[in-house]
Structure 1
Amino acid sequence: MQTLQSDRPARPLLRRALPLSLAAVCFWLLWQEAATLDLPAVATSLGEIPAWRWIAAGLATLASFRVLAEYDLVGHRHMGTGLDPRRARRAGAASIAIAQVTGAGPAVGAAVRWRLLPVLGRGGVLALSALVGLSFMASWALLAVAVALPVIGGVAWLAPLLLAVALPAVGYGLWRVPEIRLLGRTLRLPSLQAAGRMIALAALDLIFAGLALWLLMPTGTVAPFTLIAAYTLALGAGLMLGTPGGVGPFELGLALLLPAVGAETLAAALIGYRLIYYAVPCVIAALYATLARPLVASAVPTPRHAPARGPRAEHAFVAQSDSRLLVTGPHSAALLSTAQTMTLFLGAQTGRLGPLLPGLRAAARSENRIACLYKITGRDAVAARRAGWSAVPVAREAVLDPRDFTLDTPERRQLRRALRKAAKDGITARRLSAPDWIEMSGINARWAAAHGGERGLSMGRFCPAFLSDKPIFAAYKDGRMVAFITCVTAPGVMSLDIMRHEDGVPAGTMQALIVAAVEAAGREGCHEFNLAALPDARLMRFTPGAEGLERFKTAFAPRWRKLYIAAPDMLSLAIAAADLWRTIQQPGALRQPLTAGIWESAAPTVPAPANATLPPARRWRALPRRAGGRMAG
């Protein structure tokens, strides 16, 4: 044990010693190279740089820092800080300008951001600095391997092929794994939109910075793309070894990668580059950081959770998702956040869809997400297309009118046959007034284990706090519950939510439960019972079990109604559809508490269990058998 403890202090020293040793070697080699320089020739080369090239290099430097400022803004949007973009850009540019000169970039950059944006808090500043630094290094690594190395190696034609492989691979990885667990915390990785923007901005920064150096060399000394490629690789050496401004490794790297460039010419260009790209921006940034007023408060409003109500019964699922309310005058809608999208769910909750579209796009852009409309009606799809959006069918929902529902029709003969089988096997179905949460949670757990887990987002999940005021119907055999279904409601509408059953349940059991629910909806005066949606006919083959569900619903002889997905363009629509499919198949934890803030009712509601990690039997005993009120709307 003593040996282990004595080894621990040595590990940080070893980690610091390696880059310091490599930097020292670089300095020594650079010193040996500098000793051979003709200093008067270097001064002559520096004086021969025409004024227009200094001006052009200054403009390239300005463009590079403008790009870096935009990079910081992408980080702010990823974190959802909501700060004024101008303040975010200025703080980012200042922090980078100072940090690249002083060395210890992440620490100095965080200190400058903390000076200018204390409103973020220490944790927010550190998280932003880490995000910007790590994502830039990742973007640099991709560009260095896929572009810079082939150009320096004389096989520039290989760069497009490597990018064509690398970019989709990175995109697939971020789509497949949008979050990671690190030190007990869940970290959201950049969205595809954010990652693409970061890679593009990193590429532009390298181009403009390399161009600033190229402009300070005599005409014809080296091709611009060759210099930019060499600059990219040399910059990486300076960043990884962590010397102030990359001094030593950067210069040595350029000298080794550009052997055809005269030493005096390169030295003069590097001196000019250090002045115009490092010294001048650092002085300006230091003045700004000293004189600017720190942002200690922000007027960004706290997003409101969208109410779990609306003209469609499925709006209740908003309570189980990471949602917010979008309001434009009398028009409002629920927005659901996924890894890649900001999705307006089911259309407007109040008012019309059209006036909400600009606000949706702005909300999505503010968090590097794709604006999306999901499961909207045909009328809303027309409104979206008029606004220039792309919309395609995504699902079909089966609906009945419970007021005239009868089994005595030729179209429902298979349904009658299934009900007779259930009755013969002793199945009885009834509505529950006091649900047995322990028994239901057991059935749900066994069903989920047999079917690969529950689905999420637009499909409800078993949660007693959510279901406590919903219509629930159970099927019994020999006095034991073998299946149950739950429903959600809106004015005049009841919709099927979840269906759970034991393995080997008698045939016709689930049909008997739905018939009981339809008859209850008719007694309550509902004009519609929704059997829930199936994938659109073109998507059926991609959804296991969809054909069986289609036969199951068709036995009720319903009326089919198309639902649509929409996005600003077809590429965004494809990404959004893939992300929504992944989220439905692999939902995260129920993050939003089911508290009274979501339910707009004067009656008391059931809170989410505080003991959520306890075994099911103990967990659900903490809940009352029945809630005192119903969801408004």
Structure 2
Amino acid sequence: MVKSKLLQSGDVVKRLLPLAIGLGFMGLLWTKTQDLDWFAVQQSFEAIPHWRWAAALLASVISFWAVAQYDVIAHRHFGTAMPARAARHAGAAAIAIGQTTGFGPVIGAAIRWRLMPALGHAQIARVTGFVTLGFLSAWALLSATIALPLLIGQSWLAFLLFPIAALGFGGVLLCYPELRLFGFKLNLPSLRAMSQMTLLAGCDLIFAGLALHLLLPPEIAPSLPILVAAFALALGAGMMGGTPGGVGPFELALLALIPASDVAGLAAALIAFRLVYYVIPCIAGLTYAALGRVETPDLEIVQPLVQQGSRAEHAITRQSRTQGLRQKTAEAELLETPQSLALFLGPSRGQIAELLTPLRRRAFTQNRHACLYKVTAQDAVQARKNGWTVTAIAHEAVIDTRSYSTTGPERRQLRRFLRKASKAKVVFAPIDAPDWPSLHAIHKEWEEQHGQERGLTMGRFCPLYLLDKPLFGAYQNGVLIGFISGLSAPGVLSLDLMRHRSDIPNGTMHGLMDYMITWAQEREIDEVCLAAVPHPHLAKRLSLPPGLTRFKASFAPRWRPLYMAAPNRMALIICALDIMRTVLRPPAIPYTTAERWQVDALITGETAPLPCLTKLRETG
């Protein structure tokens, strides 16, 4: 009880301290106004030309348009399906009223809920928090790296500090797209969203500073860059002060940063700025909040595709969050990552050229970059013709079962490994009735040796995922020591998982792979894909170990190149880095509660799988 009271009292102090500081600044400002010649202030106010009033009002409109775009980005981030126009208008009203009355986040949330009640209180709170924290982050970046160097007369520092800080901030968002606080998961803005918010914050500060610059007497107005820099820092003082409109801290900070000989002229300009930038927008915001139309989300169904394409690897997407992209004569499966929306393996129906523009549009409305991932050479040619940047990232090993045999000089190394497995008395067979506890034990031992399994476009161990997949096991003295799984499509069988114990005899995995190829051959499956490895030029550049490539090369396959593409080079780099990060550190498989219970039951051997629980993804 005592601890609870202490926490409550501490919370009250935290809330009241900024307001107390702000009121203190208001008191200081009041004492300064006592010495003003108010008749001179009135004369300076009336001397402001009409065209300057109009220009300042126009600059304020542009400034509010920029900050209102934050709401559009926030709604895209949370996938609310709210029309951009409605989000922009609600955001402008919320910011105009909130910044003038004080307690911006609280007032802003109330205005947004008034105009968009269908989203609910929780989603409105998320949008408001996103807008507030996004602006503060962008403001801090611009103020620390550009405004401060300008004010201290070292403008050249901005050309050094801003790129370094922006790259560092972007690197953090790229490497850590999620933040966990007190058990809650927060999805941070994507690089695209944060870049847009930084540009919009810069636009807001420039045009707000321009509005003030237009209202100042020309003889005391500093250069526009200096005034904008001073305005940015004064705005921060006003936000931290906690008073309505930042009154007190804002003016005192501005007076300290741009001292003027004509105090009456400066006071008149500040009063005029308050009218143009605070009072008029606040009145307009209140009018819109009172009379504006209540908006509802414009829902769009983006569920995953029901029918998979001809590529067997499409089944891997069941373990990740995906969307279906459908056009009249074409459709494809899209993989979601924090930075990208990737069309995976090419279209499942139709031509890829028809999907490029809709893919870019869909990615833009989700604050992501569009890309193509692991597409064929034919699809890469179509993307390049449409102006996309294309690069080879992998090549997959393909076996034609109609001509496959272990004879010939090209498979000499394979025969050597097969003899070692035979000498160790390792036998191979399909796994028709999986012993999930044994398979799970092998998987855990494999992870202890090789590290966490990869994900996204690489299969992961999960009984529900493997239920309908062909499984093949390697046995020594009747004990399972390794297994592989395959992915099936018409006429194709593709390698998926490979798991084994740490002490298996040499040649065991070669024997398993050879057995799977022979199994497909007997069932007249024309092609077995041994899956992809990094493209030689990429492997050389990244100094990747050649072990997996040597393993697949021993089967003398035909190598088929796979490509990645994006609308421009920067988007290609961002998408490639983000996909690589997600592959190496995949998020948890999106189980439902029932599926999680069923997986736990299977790997502990407590129950048999239920047919209704073979679906892995939550589509809600």
Letter in 1 for 2:38: L
Q: CA deviation at 1:550?
A: 1.1
Q: Deviations over 1:269-306 (max 9, x none)?
A: 111001111111111111111111212x3331232122
Establish whether residue 610 from structure 1 lines up as the match of residue 597 from structure 2.
Answer: yes
Partner Cα separation in structure 2 for residue 496 and residue 155 of structure 1: 60
The corresponding residue for 2:608 is: 623
| d(CA) in 1 for partners of 2:150, 2:614 | 69
2:425 corresponding residue in structure 1: 426
Partner residue of 2:152? 153
* Residue in structure 2 matched with residue 540 of structure 1 by the alignment: 539
Residues 347, 375 of structure 1: 8 Å contact kept: yes
Match of 2:77 in 1: 78
For residues 174 and 133 of structure 1, what CA distance do their matches in structure 2 show? 17
TM-score by length of 2: 0.96
Contact preservation (8 Å) 1:19, 1:241: yes
Q: State the one-letter code of the partner of 1:285.
A: G
Matched, 1:130 2:129: yes
SS of residue paired to 1:301: coil
1:358-373 matches, cutoff 5 A: 358-373=357-372
Distance 1:608 1:292 in 2: 45
> Which residue of structure 2 aligns with residue 454 of structure 1?
453
- 2:327–2:354 Cα contact (<8 Å) kept: yes
State the match for 1:170 in structure 2: 169
Mark the CA change 1:503 to 1:455 in structure 2 (over 3 Å): closer, same or farther. Answer: same
Name the SS for the 2:433 alignment partner. Answer: coil
Kindly provide the amino acid, as one letter, of the partner of residue 422 in structure 1: A
Structure 1 counterpart SS, 2:366: coil
- Which amino acid in the other structure matches residue 216 of structure 2? M
Equivalent residue runs for 1:76-115 within 5 Å? 76-115=75-114
The SS at the match of 1:460 is coil
Cα 1:203/1:9, change in 2 over 3 Å: same
Give me the whole-angstrom Cα distance separating, in 2, the residues matched to 1:72 and 1:220. Answer: 38
Query: Is contact 2:602–2:609 with CA below 8 Å preserved after alignment?
Result: no
Q: How much is the aligned-residue C-alpha RMSD, in angstroms? A: 1.9
Q: In structure 1, give the amino acid aligned to 2:562.
A: L
Q: Deviations over 1:88-120 (max 9, x none)?
A: 111111111111111110000000000111121
Given that 1:441 and 1:616 are in contact with CA atoms closer than 8 Å, whether structure 2 keeps it comes out as no
- Contact conserved, 1:255 with 1:263, CA < 8 A, in 2? no
- 1:533 and 1:354 map into 2 onto residues whose CA distance is 24
Equivalent in the alignment of 1:248: 248
Question: Structure 2: how far apart are the matches of 1:462 and 1:111?
Answer: 46
Contact 1:395-1:564 at 8 Å conserved across structures? yes
1:630 CA drift (Å): 12
Shift of 1:193: 0.5
String of CA shifts for 1:295-339, please: whole Å, max 9, x gaps: 2x3331232122362111100011111001100012110011101
Separation in 1, partners of 2:614, 2:272: 74
Partner of 1:215: 214
Aligned to 1:49: 48
Residue type of the alignment partner of 1:83: M
Alpha-carbon distance between aligned partners in 1 of 2:322 and 2:347, rounded to the nearest angstrom = 14
Mapping for residues 180-329 of structure 1, pairs under 5 Å:
180-221=179-220, 222-295=222-295, 297-307=296-306, 309-329=308-328
Give the aligned partner of residue 549 of structure 1. Answer: 548
Q: Determine the structure 1 residue equivalent to 2:141.
A: 142
Give the aligned residue type for 1:7.
L
Q: Which amino acid aligns with 2:597?
A: A
- Tell me the residue number matched to 1:600: none
SS of corresponding position for 2:81: coil
d(CA) in 2 for partners of 1:8 and 1:219?
Answer: 52
Q: Counterparts of 1:623 and 1:154 in 2: how far apart (Å)?
A: 73
Q: Residue type matched to 1:623 in 2?
A: A
Say if 1:148 and 1:487 are closer, same or farther in 2 by CA, change over 3 A.
same
Q: CA 1:533/1:242 → structure 2, altered by over 3 Å: closer, same or farther?
A: same
* Structure 2 residue aligned with 1:585: 584
What is the rounded CA distance, in whole Å, between the counterparts of 1:132 and 1:471 in structure 2? 49
What letter matches 1:608 in structure 2?
E
Any unmatched runs of 5+ in structure 1? 595-606
Give, in whole Å, the separation in 2 of the partners of 1:145 and 1:52.
Answer: 34
Structure 1 distance, partners of 2:572, 2:591, is 26
Letter of the 2:606 partner, please give it: R
Structure-2 separation of matches of 1:628 and 1:35: 76
- 1:97-149 CA distance string (max 9 Å, x none): 11111111000000000011112111110000000001111111111111111
Instruction: State the shift of 1:544 in Å.
Output: 6.9
Counterparts of residues 347-496 of structure 1 (less than 5 Å):
347-496=346-495
Tell me if the contact between 1:395 and 1:536 (Cα under 8 Å) persists in the aligned partners.
Answer: yes
1:520 Cα offset (Å): 1.0
Shift of 1:363: 0.7
Q: CA deviation at 1:3?
A: 3.5
Amino acid at match of 2:33: A
Deviations 1:334-387 (A, max 9, x none): 011101000000000111111111110111000110001000000000011111
Distance 1:41 1:461 in 2: 76
1:469, 1:627 within 8 Å by CA — same for their partners in 2?
A: no
Q: Is the 8 A contact 1:68 1:205 kept in 2?
A: yes
> 2: distance between equivalents of 1:549 and 1:72?
47
* Secondary structure at 1:172 match in 2: helix
How far off its partner does 1:30 sit? Answer: 0.6
1-structure distance, mates of 2:378, 2:540: 27
The aligned length equals 615
Q: State the shift of 1:611 in Å.
A: 5.0
Which amino acid in 2 is paired with 1:293?
R
Q: Which amino acid aligns with 1:92?
A: G
In the aligned structure 2, how far is the partner of 1:121 from the partner of 1:455? 37
Give the CA deviation at 1:624.
3.2
Partner of 1:567: 566
Cα shift readout 1:506-535 (whole Å, capped 9, x = no counterpart): 100001000110011112221110000010
After TM superposition, the structure 1 stretch with the greater mean CA deviation from structure 2, 297-306 or 532-541, is: 297-306
Query: Which deviations, in whole Å up to 9, do the C-alpha atoms of 1:177-236 show, x marking residues without a partner?
Result: 000112322211000000111111011101111110110012242111111111111111
* Counterpart Cα distance in 2 of 1:562 and 1:261: 71
My pick for the range that moved more, 254-263 or 266-275, is 254-263
Q: TM-score, length-normalised on structure 1? A: 0.94
Q: Aligned-pair distance for 1:615? A: 8.0
2:598 and 2:609 in contact (8 A); partners too: no
The structure-2 alpha-carbon separation of the partners of 1:331 and 1:617, relative to structure 1 and needing over 3 Å to count, comes to closer
- Mapped to 2, the partners of 1:195 and 1:629 lie a distance apart of 38
* Deviating more after overlay: 22-31 vs 562-571: 22-31
Checking the alignment, whether the CA contact within 8 Å between 2:428 and 2:475 is kept in structure 1 is yes
Give the secondary-structure state (helix, strand or coil) at the position aligned to 2:350: coil
Deviation at 1:157, TM superposition (A): 1.4
Partners of 1:570 and 1:62 lie apart in 2 by 35
Deviations 1:221-259 (A, max 9, x none): 211111111111111111112111111111111111111
AA aligned opposite 1:409: G
TM-superposed deviation, 1:616:
7.0
Corresponding residue SS for 1:403: coil
Change (3 A) 1:609 1:227: closer
Which amino acid is 1:151 matched to? L
Superposition deviation, residue 546 in structure 1: 4.0
1:86/1:47 CA distance change after superposition, 3 Å: same
Q: Is 1:609–1:622's contact at 8 Å kept on the other side of the alignment?
A: no
3-state SS, counterpart of residue 465 of structure 1 = helix
1:476 and 1:542, CA in 2 relative to 1: closer, same or farther beyond 3 A? Answer: farther
Q: Secondary structure at the match of 1:404?
A: coil
1:13 shift after superposition? 2.2
The one-letter code matched in structure 1 to 2:202 is A
- Alpha carbons 1:436, 1:625 under 8 Å: kept: no
Amino acid at match of 1:328: Q
Question: 2:402 and 2:393 mapped to 1: Cα distance?
Answer: 29
